Amino acid sequence: MTEATKKAATAASRGEASYRADPHPVYACLRESAPVCRLSPPHGVETYLITRYDDAKAALTDPRISKDMYAALDAYHTIFGDSSVALDDNMLFSDPPKHTRLRRIVNSAFSPRRIESLRPRIQQITDELLQRCSTSTPIDLLPSFAFPLPLIVICELIGIPEEERDEAQKQCATVARTGFSKADKEKLAVAEGALRDYFVELIARKRRNATDDLLSDLIRTQDEQGAMNDGELLSTLWVLLFAGHKTTAYLIGNAVYNLLTHRDQLRDVMADPELLPNAIEEIIRYEGSVENATFRHALEDITIRDTVIPKGSLVQVAVASANRDPEKFESPDTFDIRRQGLQSAHLGFGSGPHYCLGAPLARMEMRIALTTLFERFPNIEPAAPAEETAWLKVPFPAFRGLERLPVV
C-alpha cells in the first residue's frame, strides 16, 4: 500500500475534517489503488469499504453479503449499541424471506400511484413553509424548509400527530449525530429509548382509535394476518420515520447548494422545467445524501478482486464513490443536468432487493420543493461564503449533507 493510499484509508476510517469537506479525492485514490479497502474505524469492527461501481453494484445484490443483523449480532451491538439493535428489526436489516415479508406489507403504500395522490398535499405544505420564509433577512434553508418538508410528509403518512413531531425529530437528530465514545453511546441510548417508548404508546393509542394513516393500516394487517410481530412493527415505524426524512432533507440542501453554485444550469432548469427530473437524478449521482450508509456483513470469506473479506466483517458500499467512477460515468466530477441514462445507472437509492422503498416519494418531494422554491425566489443566493456552509460532521461517513445553508 502506498503512503497516499494509507492516508486515504485513514481519512475514510476516521472521517477526518478534510475528507468530510470533500471525500471525492479520497475515493478517487481508493478506487485506483485499494478498491476493496480494509478500514480501521473507531468502533473496532473489521470493516471493508467498496468504492468501484461494478463491485458496488455486485455487492448490493450478493446474497453472501448479508443485511441480516441477527447473523452478526455481536458486531452490530459493538457498532451501534443495544438500543439501536432493538430498533432495527426491520426490512433494512434483514434478508429474504423475512425481508420479502416485511417489505411487501408496506410496499403498496409507496407505489408511484399512491405517492402521486399525495402531490396536492405536498405542494400545500411546501407553499406554507415558503410563505413563512422572509425575503429581507438571510435564513438558514435547512431548519426552515429542507427538514420540515419531508418530516411533515412522512409524519402525516405514518400518522404521527402534529404536536408530537418536533420531539420525534429531535430524537432522530440525536441518533444521526452520535459517535462511538461512552458518552455518545449513553446519549444515543436515551434518544432511542425515548423513541421506543413513544412508538409503543402511539401504537397502543392507534390500536384503540384507528385513524386514516399507514400505522393504523399496519395494525389492521397485523391483527388480521399476524403479518408483523410487535417488535417488527415498531422497528418499521422507526425506519420509515428516519429514512423518510433525513435523506430527503439532506438531498434538498445538496440540490439547492449545487444549483446555486452552478447558476447557468439553474437558469436552464428554470427556463425548461422538463429538465428538472434529470437534474434531480444528476444531483443524486453527484452529491447524493447517502454516502455509504449501506451496512452489510460477509456470511463467508469473499474474494473481490484480490482482497479476501473475511467472514463476519462489516462491508460498506460507498455509493457516493461508485457514482463518481470514471469507468461508469464520463467526466464524473462534472455536474451536468443533461447527462443521459442516469436513473437506471446511479446507485444513490441503492440497488437490488433493498433498493430504496421511498424513491418515488423522495423524487416527488424533490420536484415540488425545487420548483416552488426557485419560482418563488428566483433571485435566491447563498448568504455566506462557501466555507461557512459546512458539510456534516458525522462520526462516520454514512450520510452527506450540509450543517447549514444560509441564503438570502
Nearest by Cα to 246 from 196, 172, 160:
172
Distance CA 3, CA 24 (A): 18
Nine cell digits for residue 52: 468501484
Report, in Å, the least distance between residue 129 CB and ligand HEM.
Answer: 17
Among 12, 37, 39, 60, binds ligand HEM (CB under 6 A): 60
* DSSP letters spanning 253-315: HHHHHHHHTSHHHHHHHHH-GGGHHHHHHHHHHHH-SBSS---EEESS-EEETTEEE-TT-EE
For residue 171, state whether it binds ligand HEM (rule: CB under 6 A).
no
Report, in Å, the least distance between residue 3 CB and ligand HEM.
Answer: 32
For residue 103, state whether it binds ligand HEM (rule: CB under 6 A).
yes
Distance CA 67, CA 94 (A): 5
For residue 396, state whether it binds ligand HEM (rule: CB under 6 A).
no
For residue 288, state whether it binds ligand HEM (rule: CB under 6 A).
yes
Site for ligand HEM in 194-253 (CB under 6 A): 239-240, 243-244, 247-248, 251
Nine cell digits for residue 119: 402531490
Q: Please, are residues 67 and 94 in contact by the beta-carbon 8 Å criterion?
A: yes
Residues in contact with ligand HEM, total (CB under 6 A)? 26
Residues facing residue 308 across a β-bridge: 303
Sign of dihedral through CA atoms 44, 45, 48, 49?
negative
Nearest by Cα to 316 from 23, 4, 86:
23
Question: For ligand HEM, which is the closer residue by CB, 119 or 263?
Answer: 119
Question: For ligand HEM, which is the closer residue by CB, 273 or 353?
Answer: 353
Report, in Å, the least distance between residue 353 CB and ligand HEM.
Answer: 6
Instruction: Report the SS3 class of residue 36.
Output: strand
For residue 348, state whether it binds ligand HEM (rule: CB under 6 A).
yes
For residue 350, state whether it binds ligand HEM (rule: CB under 6 A).
yes
For residue 321, state whether it binds ligand HEM (rule: CB under 6 A).
no
Candidates 120-128, 209-217, 227-235, 346-354 — which segment interacts with ligand HEM by CB under 6 A? 346-354
For residue 357, state whether it binds ligand HEM (rule: CB under 6 A).
yes
Report, in Å, the least distance between residue 33 CB and ligand HEM.
Answer: 25
Question: For ligand HEM, which is the closer residue by CB, 29 or 354?
Answer: 354
Distance CA 218, CA 222 (A): 6
For residue 92, state whether it binds ligand HEM (rule: CB under 6 A).
yes
Write the CA distances from 237 to 72, 194, 371, 408, integer angstroms. Answer: 23, 14, 30, 36
Q: Please, are residues 398 and 135 in contact by the beta-carbon 8 Å criterion?
A: no
Report, in Å, the least distance between residue 88 CB and ligand HEM.
Answer: 11
Candidates 40-48, 253-261, 284-292, 390-398 — which segment interacts with ligand HEM by CB under 6 A? 284-292
For residue 126, state whether it binds ligand HEM (rule: CB under 6 A).
no
Interaction site with ligand HEM (CB under 6 A): 60, 91-92, 103, 154, 239-240, 243-244, 247-248, 251, 288-290, 294, 319, 348-350, 354, 356-358, 361-362
